[in-house]
Structure 1
């Protein structure tokens, strides 16, 4: 519902604007890039008061009961009395531009975020009392105090939301993968917007939704999804009664949700909105644009009955004695109906009367719930009942509220269809996302204001290739990268078919880049891969299309198993993963096929992919020498042994990241990249982060460690460590030997085989030594049989004789080859 056209008020010049109401709703204050503060009298059409004090654009404003303060790119923060705005005090000064400020609930402290890495807390009564908080090594975009005076939220430009105890100033919690990673001067928001009463807060999350999160367990109570084509959230604001939530979108307008029903109840089509503010105790939403225009929207929430000014005046008179309350109107109840069908959902929306305890009160003690003039103002019977249920709920043990990601995961597991996996690709983080991450370099795309994207290709080693970028009108969604070129794909739309585009890094012939359109209507690429010899495209039509690097079609067939999940290639080898139907427990079961396109030979056909119970595939790829690897959602890396022999392939774990020693002292996870030089290359994700960050992340390598025994890091010669060492080398030896073509062994490969055999025997001889000390005779023989070389068997016999185990030495002698 768009409503009538609003009357614009031109408050500032083009640029970032901010606005805020005084707590009593008497004045509306706006600031902008023209260095001026505008002070509007609410309900008056007279020209606003102008206050000119800053030397650079004003970037933020905050209000307390008696004062308001502003911050600016001139690195100053000034405080003004509300009733005498001509006077001002310089509260603090920073070395870099200030981006946001916030008053504590009691008005005694002001939090300051700037392009510096520290957030400053300045006492408004004693300006020499200053505290510095350093949540990260990056600058910070937003700060906000919770109304219950418990927390200070800091939105860092690195995409992490930090929470400090407002009293002790100790770090309490940090949330990753919740807010956007945005620059300090961006018009996008990552601010924690606190509910007026119940201790929850709302944020514009990384999925372009508004998440409402509880500070009880730091999990999302619910998420509010915008309409299609609404993206890039610039601000979020709670209504003064805490029931409605408004969000502005850069190019689409404003949406308002009813947090009871989680439905959109109002829509306002005004573009370039950057700041929102609800008038206290009134159904009025004010907002400003980046053209400096102010709009006041009366009846922002459509009601079946008009609320009179007298009603709001009565509420205004009650605010000092009952500041922790919600007002709900009978007209609103008539419009939206009773919510008693879902009390838990209503509770999740924060329907309480502040922090007051209703556990021992009854309805009579509270008086008339609709008596706005009485001293015992409360909302209604329904509010009372919900408050009682909330108290009872908080006093008993309960399962924590499930996060939205966990809910999606459960739905996925029980849908028996595994989602596609795009190696090296991430979701949108603000206006950018990675399309590819590997050992060659990075590809990322950025949304531009005029509707197209810009793609950048960057390399780790710029001695061979320099980074380049180009405009992307096709809106490519997946990409692959190697030393020679980059491959991109875009899905089919109503206007165009699916597109495959190959771009070499150096176009020496000036005609090497090419693009092709998929011939079938509505056929889109699901998964693509690029190797030194071939290009593979798996589509929504079930086709596997294989091309040469010049775009010449080599092969095409329809897969027996659908839908596709992932594909990977190495030289002429192609591995394709697809859904194979539900497993016995109802979870998705994946199958894979490996074929050699040059020989038209299939090594493995629709063999099962070894996922863990209730687990998912996170990545699948070929190593630098052409062996298949997979990384699952449990953090385990596995290699496919014996894959060249049909029916003999086995997925063997080579690293469990959960058992790494560093994992026990750090909260981190690992984004898989590839395997090279028998090491796992990945990106470290700190905290609860799920995707690589901007700017470009650093890669880390971890050696293999077989999860066969419990290994103590400080005991490298212990029995478990030696057992793991010999098994790891045995697996590496198998991989190496199977990769050597018959009759084609070079000197380097022969040295590698010899070295691995020596490592295996060395570990076994140490184990034999320990077994001799404990006189474990059968174990000595068992270990000796695993030795690879004759000199090692002779060494084992000498060890047995050294320990006077002559009988064992004789048996070892029978294992020696005949002379």
Structure 2
């Protein structure tokens, strides 16, 4: 290497077109391929002619150098081609060794896992294949894509594979098990590009494995954390044209990017500043040398550049550092925020490693994530503050730095504790996914906005297109939402503000009422004349604020419930709040439990009743499905939601499909076993009837409240009688189960008869016939005694 970098000359390697490259693991050679059939092997540090392999296949799109035993041997490389084949080549002889994969459509990209055992093949087919290099009969399939793939990458640990599709969706798969599982389907993370486009949509993993970078349509470079797949602070202000290639330095401290603007940029990872700009046109692939200060890149002109001394002298210490952390929020690899302060969780702690010491048994995560990159200790005193001094053998800081605490002049540090509060949110809205988000998504339809840099475009679509007309408009103000949260009913518009004001307007915008909420606002919902507001209340024993709610009748200026507690357990979060189609308040929490508020029109009498625990759904009983549910509505006595698979947090784009589930109150979390035993079958029937009885009794109570507090229609009153009759029928079915169980269940059977609501005597008569059918004579006599007593009570009432 020379002391000062000399601008490299381009080496004609292939005919114009896509030109790809890679280093061998030892860094001694650079291998290139292009749109012709030749493969070139260059020796690093030498200007001589390359070795040419003529056994190649025309139209190479993917190349990777690999070794069979953890990169100890540098004897082979793998290449994919436009004819759909993926071959393994011998490096020394330049001959084809093995045909690993054959696809029906052109191969667009390949990737090799860091251990050299697996090769992932992306093609114009919908399925991405992951093939074992040593045994090509071992194949894993990534099947969730709906379009062809442009790129595929492994994370450094081999736990994840990312697939960049031509429709602009990025698929993240977990490879921990033999059957890959979709973890996330991310929209807005990459651009929608054609397979032949020179611009890149590749997810480029940071060497620490905690994040990946991707190029945006805005020409920024986004970073996404694997902790929650959320966007971090982007590398911005760099390119004036489409980004064509990205590559992290081996230690992750630097990032190189190339663009259609004829620029190759060198970025510092930690500060995200541009350190140097280089003028090189048509660069489409970049590759860092494994150990040296050297960057190689290829162009669409078919040229190869080997840039020795690429990182300027003043920045070379960055390249010599140990593994640098990915540029995540708050400056650390992972940061956990709690009510007790903010504690950085360093990368090696995430891996279950504390320096080189361990407590207890070995951690199996070492086998997945690998050991620490260095043995320098996990605290890096990179700002000279001295906090890395006095570190014990477990990586913990000792108290030696405190000095002598004797005396009154010592200023001791003061720690401030603050409770954990629930952040405000808009029901029915989602977080940004790239440049778009849902502003509203409910049972009527949905509204989404797209960030167009200078403005937003808003689209409104309805499920019932015959009743409503879809439309869209330009939003020059780029509204996220007008205030903290808004609610709209068929009577009023309600807005909560940052000053905790509750502002009520008529549907045509006339101010109607204003008051201040007693607790800091979180969200609100409205139905007809009623407004439900939720806020952060008193601090509980867990250090988090309890959530309180109030319900007001705006028209009558009445308070139905005043600062009562939302029944969300500690550690859980409120996902949404809405009214059902019958006008009953409902909430859904992060534990997947849907609750409805009973007796909410009576002050001090309200209580939250679980309608459904989605974790107990039959579809999840096998434990093979990984899915959660994004709540949309409670309507038609069903829970309507969007199924999110693989750890997704928000609904996807384009238009999501709605699913519905029947209510099932968690009367018991231990369902009977499915056997052929008659007694077990009887208990199963009884459990099913008991759940239905509790559920229908709840619905009867909600309907009774509605009828008694409003000007009920004749159909509503008739429905009340039907609900009472339905409960009595359930009691009859439960009675039959008890009669089958034997005489010893007679007291419970008689109790069921006493719970019947029918006063005409028909249901009691039917109960006596059930007892007679099962030869329960004693029970039958007691039921008839109940009926006689009922008739006598009626006669006494008439005489009075």
TM-score, normalization by structure 2: 0.68
Query: Alpha-carbon deviations, 1:466-514, whole Å to 9, x = none?
Result: 544334333332xxxxxxxxxxx2xxxxxxxxxx4xxxxxxxxxxxxxx
1:671 counterpart residue number? 630
- Unaligned residue ranges in structure 1 (runs of 5+): 213-218, 313-325, 330-341, 356-377, 387-391, 394-412, 478-488, 490-499, 501-524
Residue among 271, 284, 288 paired with 1:278: 288
| Equivalent residues of 1:712, 1:721 under 8 A apart | no
1:729 counterpart residue number? 696
Give the superposition deviation at 1:415: 3.3
Q: Is 1:646 aligned to residue 637 of structure 2? A: no
1-structure distance, mates of 2:464, 2:36: 45
Query: Alpha-carbon deviations, 1:160-179, whole Å to 9, x = none?
Result: 423558xxx93355533689
1:460 counterpart residue number? 463
1-structure distance, mates of 2:469, 2:6: 51
| Equivalent residues of 1:179, 1:204 under 8 A apart | no
1-structure distance, mates of 2:149, 2:128: 7
Residue among 408, 420, 423 paired with 1:419: 423
Residue among 549, 552, 576 paired with 1:592: 549
Q: 1:91 to 1:767 in 2, by over 3 A?
A: closer
Q: 1:649 to 1:85 in 2, by over 3 A?
A: same
2:269 counterpart residue number? 257
| Equivalent residues of 2:630, 2:650 under 8 A apart | yes
Give the superposition deviation at 1:697: 2.2
1:62 counterpart residue number? 64
Q: Bigger shift: 785-794 or 185-194?
A: 185-194
Q: Name the SS for the 2:484 alignment partner.
A: strand
Q: Name the SS for the 2:763 alignment partner.
A: helix
| Equivalent residues of 2:5, 2:312 under 8 A apart | no
1:382 counterpart residue number? 376
2-structure distance, mates of 1:91, 1:756: 66
1-structure distance, mates of 2:507, 2:34: 53
2-structure distance, mates of 1:472, 1:292: 45
Query: Alpha-carbon deviations, 1:225-263, whole Å to 9, x = none?
Result: 5368689998664433x45363759999764436xxxx7
1:114 counterpart residue number? 123
Q: 1:55 to 1:584 in 2, by over 3 A?
A: same
Give the superposition deviation at 1:82: 7.8
| Equivalent residues of 1:162, 1:173 under 8 A apart | yes
Q: Name the SS for the 1:203 alignment partner.
A: strand
| Equivalent residues of 2:534, 2:547 under 8 A apart | yes
Q: Bigger shift: 719-728 or 779-788?
A: 779-788
2-structure distance, mates of 1:4, 1:634: 58
Give the superposition deviation at 1:573: 2.2
Q: How does 1:779-798 map to 2 (within 5 A)?
A: 779-790=748-759, 791-798=762-769
Q: Bigger shift: 565-574 or 748-757?
A: 748-757
| Equivalent residues of 1:612, 1:634 under 8 A apart | no
1:322 counterpart residue number? none
Q: Name the SS for the 2:698 alignment partner.
A: helix
Query: Alpha-carbon deviations, 1:168-216, whole Å to 9, x = none?
Result: x933555336897654648565646384xx9x5753499953447xxxx
Give the superposition deviation at 1:636: 0.9
1-structure distance, mates of 2:15, 2:525: 53
Residue among 714, 721, 724 paired with 1:754: 721
Give the superposition deviation at 1:436: 2.3
Give the superposition deviation at 1:698: 1.6
2:368 counterpart residue number? none
Q: How does 1:31-430 map to 2 (within 5 A)?
A: 60-64=62-66, 65=74, 94-96=103-105, 98-103=107-112, 111-120=120-129, 133-138=141-146, 139-144=148-153, 153-155=161-163, 157=165, 159-164=170-175, 170-171=178-179, 174-176=182-184, 182=190, 183=192, 185=194, 189=201, 191=203, 193=205, 195=207, 200=209, 202-204=211-213, 209-211=223-225, 225-226=232-233, 237-240=247-250, 242=251, 244=253, 246=255, 255-257=267-269, 267=275, 276-285=286-295, 345=346, 347=348, 382=376, 415-430=419-434
Q: Is 1:536 aligned to residue 538 of structure 2? A: no
| Equivalent residues of 1:415, 1:586 under 8 A apart | yes
2:616 counterpart residue number? 659
2-structure distance, mates of 1:537, 1:35: 66
2:397 counterpart residue number? none
Give the superposition deviation at 1:554: 2.5
2:584 counterpart residue number? 627
Q: Give the number of equivalent residue pairs.
A: 675
Q: Name the SS for the 1:209 alignment partner.
A: strand
1-structure distance, mates of 2:301, 2:493: 48
2-structure distance, mates of 1:446, 1:808: 68
2-structure distance, mates of 1:532, 1:415: 37
Give the superposition deviation at 1:681: 0.5
1-structure distance, mates of 2:131, 2:301: 32
Residue among 762, 776, 788 paired with 1:813: 788
Q: Name the SS for the 1:760 alignment partner.
A: helix
| Equivalent residues of 1:351, 1:383 under 8 A apart | no
2-structure distance, mates of 1:530, 1:699: 22
Q: Bigger shift: 645-654 or 128-137?
A: 128-137
Q: Name the SS for the 1:818 alignment partner.
A: helix
Q: 1:385 to 1:617 in 2, by over 3 A?
A: closer
| Equivalent residues of 2:246, 2:257 under 8 A apart | yes
Q: 1:111 to 1:470 in 2, by over 3 A?
A: same
Q: Name the SS for the 1:796 alignment partner.
A: helix
Q: 1:54 to 1:594 in 2, by over 3 A?
A: farther
Q: Please, what is the CA RMSD of the aligned residues?
A: 5.5
- Unaligned residue ranges in structure 2 (runs of 5+): 67-73, 325-342, 357-371, 381-392, 395-416, 675-680, 796-800
2-structure distance, mates of 1:753, 1:235: 67
Q: 1:463 to 1:162 in 2, by over 3 A?
A: same
2:533 counterpart residue number? 576
1:470 counterpart residue number? 473
1-structure distance, mates of 2:113, 2:232: 31
Q: Name the SS for the 1:753 alignment partner.
A: helix
Residue among 789, 798, 803 paired with 2:776: 803
1-structure distance, mates of 2:19, 2:471: 35
1:334 counterpart residue number? none
Q: 1:131 to 1:633 in 2, by over 3 A?
A: closer
2-structure distance, mates of 1:328, 1:768: 70
Q: 1:233 to 1:634 in 2, by over 3 A?
A: farther
Q: Name the SS for the 2:794 alignment partner.
A: coil
Give the superposition deviation at 1:36: 12
Q: 1:775 to 1:266 in 2, by over 3 A?
A: same
1-structure distance, mates of 2:37, 2:447: 40
| Equivalent residues of 2:76, 2:91 under 8 A apart | yes
| Equivalent residues of 2:6, 2:309 under 8 A apart | no
1-structure distance, mates of 2:716, 2:122: 58
Give the superposition deviation at 1:655: 1.1
| Equivalent residues of 2:36, 2:58 under 8 A apart | no
Give the superposition deviation at 1:628: 0.6
| Equivalent residues of 1:155, 1:192 under 8 A apart | no
Give the superposition deviation at 1:532: 2.4
Query: Alpha-carbon deviations, 1:773-805, whole Å to 9, x = none?
Result: 334454344323321112223333454566222
2-structure distance, mates of 1:770, 1:123: 57
Q: How does 1:5-44 map to 2 (within 5 A)?
A: 20-23=22-25, 25=27
Q: Name the SS for the 1:793 alignment partner.
A: helix
Q: Name the SS for the 1:739 alignment partner.
A: helix
Give the superposition deviation at 1:419: 1.1
Q: 1:789 to 1:143 in 2, by over 3 A?
A: same
Q: Bigger shift: 18-27 or 423-432?
A: 18-27
Give the superposition deviation at 1:722: 1.6
